[in-house]
Amino acid sequence: MDVDAMKQLGAALAMGLGAIGPGIGIGLIGSKAMEAMGRNPEAAGTIQTNMILSIAFAESIGIFALVIALLLKFV
Amino acid sequence: MGKMLGNLGNKLLNLLWGTQTRKVWTSIVVILLVLSLAIRFIYPVPPPHVALSGEPILSTSPRWFTNSLLMTVIVDIVLLALALATRFSLKEVPSGLQNAMEAIVETLYGLAESVAGKNAAKFFPWAATLFLLIIVSNWSGLIPGVGSIGYYHPAEIHGEQRVPADQELKDESTGEPHSRVLTNQLAMADGKLILVDLAAVQAAPAAAEEEGHGKFVPLLRAPSADLNMTFALALATMVMVQVWGVRFLGGGYFRKFFNFSGPNTFMKSINAFVGILELISEISRILSFGFRLFGNIFAGEIVLATMAFLVAFLVPVPFYMLEVFVGFVQALVFMMLALVFFQMASISHGTHDEHHA
């Protein structure tokens, strides 16, 4: 196979596989946060802030995969 | 259920087609949408400009004078102007600008206090500066015109831009005006996004310089969409973490990294290994700090550019809202993480319990 095709394939694989983990993680964070909010509605504000922070951390793994994919594609 | 859906449909119909004015507006929106879809078949638009790093604004200017540097200076000027304008019009009873600034600073201080407790006053200046700088640079990329207004550098021939020769034959056979073929291919050549026929590129420079076409370079670019800026922030923050560690714990701070104590040889080696892990985690924090901000903002810019390229009307709007939110969250995350690291550096392993109490 030609190098360029491999690069494209590598970028697509990096992004696709790299999105699995953060997807599962963000789903878990969201579900647990909803559960906590349902159990204790007064704490919804704090939970929401912490949920957004945790989602940002989980998401950053996906962003790393994205950076790798972009590097493969454009550099 | 069916009745409810029918009700909803009626309401929607009334909202879009109820009165004469609504009919006019709905038709305008639909016509514009169809037009923006159809125009790509009539006149092909070059794909969005994607460049991984900031580019020099002028082809004659030094390499460091990039579009992201220019935008950083503008962001700094805006922030300084806001701060000075507030500073020199301080009043007993706040109003207008001072009110807004006080609200922002108070909210940020509350956040800092929730993380750092009694050390908040010490960490606050650095963390708040980070937040304000990052949020303004994130949102500066969303201003219409940033990243899309620019001009064409004279075309350069890159070694890797090569496509089989039969491409040229196909272009000849379509019988399009020759000059248009050239401009299109050159416009697509920017940022190494699309491979360009080498023959066409070689023929182009003379024609391109006449028309002022070539490699497209935007005049402005969001600072946080440039890896240099985000890494500089990450490095400076991690250096500050060490500074706070030394200030709070003295030389004992470095015991975290070089720890050879323990009751026996086994524990000593374990502790030494933990020290190495701490060193590695400190370095990986720089990387994750820098890449997180850069990746989020740069990916957002690409998403917006792609959406505007696919359908130029109405479709990019929800993505704009998403990017406003992402810009805010990333600034918040950067600030919170910096605060958490400062706080972690300020407590030694021995005083954990005392601090939480």
DSSP B186-220: HHHTGGG-S---HHHHHHHHHHHHHHT-EEEEES-
d(CA B305, CA B147): 9
B347 has a pLDDT exceeding 70: yes
Residue B301 CA, chain-centre distance (Å), reads 7
Averaged pLDDT score across all residues of chain B: 78
A57 contacts in B (CB within 8 Å)? 333
User: For the segment B76-99, what is each residue's pLDDT rounded down to a tens digit?
Assistant: 999 999 999 988 888 888 888 888
Residue A66 has its nearest CB partner, among B288, B299, B332, at B299
B214 has a pLDDT exceeding 70: no
Using DSSP, state whether B139 is helix, strand or coil. Answer: helix
Per-residue model confidence (pLDDT) at position B155:
58
More confident residue, A8 or B91: A8
DSSP secondary structure of B315-349: THHHHHHHHHHHHHHHHHHHHHHHHHHHHHHHS-G
Residue B189 CA, chain-centre distance (Å), reads 23
Residue A46 CA, chain-centre distance (Å), reads 22
DSSP secondary structure of A27-41: HHHHHHHHHHHHH-G
Report the pLDDT averaged over residues B290-315: 86
**The three-state (H, E, C) secondary structure of B235-275, written as one string:** HHHHHHHHHHHHHHHHHHHHHHCCCCCCCCHHHHHHHHHHH
A25 has a pLDDT exceeding 50: yes
Per-residue model confidence (pLDDT) at position B357:
37
pLDDT band for B64, please (50, 70, 90 cuts).
confident
B244 has a pLDDT exceeding 70: yes
d(CA B127, CA B173): 61
d(CA B276, CA B272): 7
pLDDT band for B15, please (50, 70, 90 cuts).
confident
Residue A56 has its nearest CB partner, among B50, B302, B329, at B329
d(CA B310, CA B55): 25
Residues contacting B37, CB < 8 A, separation 6+: B311
A74–chain B Cβ distance below 8 A for any pair: yes
DSSP secondary structure of B16-30: HHSSHHHHHHHHHHH
Residues contacting B324, CB < 8 A, separation 6+: B139, B142
User: For the segment B274-297, what is each residue's pLDDT rounded down to a tens digit?
Assistant: 889 888 888 888 988 898 899 889
Per-residue model confidence (pLDDT) at position A57:
81
Closest alpha carbon within chain B to A67: B295
For an interface test with B, which of A53, A57, A67 has the most B Cβ atoms less than 10 Å from its Cβ? A67
Q: Do B329 and A71 touch (CB under 8 A)?
A: no
Closest alpha carbon within chain B to A46: B114
B206 has a pLDDT exceeding 60: no
User: For the segment A51-61, what is each residue's pLDDT rounded down to a tens digit?
Assistant: 888 888 888 88
DSSP secondary structure of A61-74: HHHHHHHHHHHHHH
Per-residue model confidence (pLDDT) at position A59:
83
User: For the segment B123-169, what is each residue's pLDDT rounded down to a tens digit?
Assistant: 999 999 999 999 999 999 898 888 878 877 765 544 444 444 444 44
For an interface test with A, which of B291, B323, B325, B326 has the most A Cβ atoms less than 10 Å from its Cβ? B291
Q: Do B193 and A74 touch (CB under 8 A)?
A: yes
Are B224 and B141 in contact by the 8 Å Cβ rule? The answer is yes
Write the CA distances from B52 to A9, A75, B299, integer angstroms.
19, 8, 10
Among A51-65, B192-206, B219-233, whose mean pLDDT is lowest? B192-206
* Interface contacts A/B by beta carbons within 8 Å: 42
pLDDT band for B254, please (50, 70, 90 cuts).
confident
pLDDT band for B350, please (50, 70, 90 cuts).
low
Q: Which amino acid is at B89?
A: S
Report the pLDDT averaged over residues B184-208: 44
Per-residue model confidence (pLDDT) at position B164:
44
Q: Which amino acid is at B55?
A: E
Tokens 């878990």 label which residue? A28
Phi–psi pair at B215, nearest 5 degrees:
-75, 125
Closest alpha carbon within chain B to A72: B52
Per-residue model confidence (pLDDT) at position B29:
87
CA atoms within 13 A on the CB side of B224: 35
Sign (positive/negative) of CA torsion B93, B96, B97, B99? positive
Phi–psi pair at B147, nearest 5 degrees:
90, -15
Percent of chain B scored above 90 by pLDDT? 21
